[in-house]
Amino acid sequence: MHDLLQIGKFPPLAQDIIDTEFRCHSLEALEQDQALRTAVRALITRSNCVVPAEVIERLPSLGIIATCGVGYDLIPIELAARRQVIVTNTPDVLNAAVAELCVGLLFALLRQIPQGDRFTRSGAWRHAAFPLGVSLAGKRVGIVGLGRIGKEVARRLEPFGVTLAYCGRTDQRLAWRFEPDLHQLARDSDILILASPGGRATEHMIGASVLDALGPQGYLINIARGSVVNQQQLIEALERGAIGGAALDVFDAEPDIDPRLFELDNVVLSPHVGSATGETRIAMARLTLDNLHRFFEDGTALTPVPA
């Protein structure tokens, strides 16, 4: 059985599979065992965990960082490439789960489903009518970052009778309209869905000017990363009614959520659970472990991220 450094906590059903196939050690355990620290060749982590550069620097035999998740914005990727450390993620196996959550959040926001639940439970229904919601049919949806997940979202939304457009670095020449200008996409959209990677290139890509372009009847859904949105400016936009509302699965400084978001009635919040179904988490753990097995077999990996 091979040794792994584990950074982050996995759900018990995933941890059970990992522990059956590998021997996991914590950072603290490695610090106390110089020989193991020198020998360990593989690191397993989750996409919401930071892998500090100094950890990579202190593991001379490290050959692979296998993250369970698709985002790798918290891994020092340039350092890994310089050190010839392979980085793997778990693309595709989570597309359906994340797309399903996105559609769920969208309806929760437009039809005020969480508010309706509270309204019904509290007995308020006896005294007043529940406020009208907003239909999805006929709306213009803009997707920022039309990759594996973005496309699954688009395919699921199409039957609801929306018009789709997308923005990214490249025109993928699809049936959906490509709009290279993010502000123009926001102006042309009733609903803006964020499904791009996090990291430096997309940091605060969505700020006050994009939100103003989306407008007071516009809705923002973020299933990408908290870093993609300037959260301060988003909260201000929500407070002053510059946009109609937002549904957020990802935040700055998770899980310490800015409490001003709790005061807003035009937001739906979820605790970064895009891929959090039992089926999906097992599939993600399986692919993570298969990457590690392949590395220990022949030094390659099944799903390496681009260096």
Nearer to ligand NAP, 37 or 151 (CB): 151
Cα–Cα nearest to 49, from 30, 63, 68, 77: 68
Tell me the three state secondary structure of residue 207: coil
Q: What is the nearest approach in angstroms of ligand NAP to the Cβ of residue 29?
A: 29
248 binds ligand NAP (CB under 6 A): no
Residue 272 CA to residue 69 CA, distance in Å, equals 12
Whether 54 is a known active-site residue: answer no
Interface residue with ligand NAP, options 164, 220, 223, 285 (CB under 6 A):
223
Whether 225 is a known active-site residue: answer yes
Per the residue annotation, which of 225, 263, 281, 286 is the catalytic one?
A: 225
Which two three-digit tokens encode residue 18? 């990992």
Contact 222, 248 (CB under 8 A): yes
304 binds ligand NAP (CB under 6 A): no
114 binds ligand NAP (CB under 6 A): no
- Tokens 């699809």 -> residue: 174
Residues 25-54 that bind ligand NAP (CB under 6 A): none
Residue 4 CA to residue 164 CA, distance in Å, equals 44
Which two three-digit tokens encode residue 168? 């990214």
Candidates 53-61, 154-162, 268-276, 298-306; binding stretch for ligand NAP (CB under 6 A): 268-276
Spell out, one character per residue from 76 to 95, where the chain touches ligand NAP: x when CB under 6 A holds, - when not. Answer: ---------------x--x-
Nearer to ligand NAP, 8 or 147 (CB): 147
Please report, for the chain, how many H helices and E strands are present, in that order: 12, 12
Which run of H or of E encompasses 143? strand 140-144
Give 282's Cβ-side CA count (13 Å radius). 5
Q: Which residues are catalytic?
A: 225, 254, 272
Interaction site with ligand NAP (CB under 6 A)? 70-71, 91, 94, 98, 144-150, 168-170, 195-198, 201-202, 223-225, 249-250, 272, 274-275
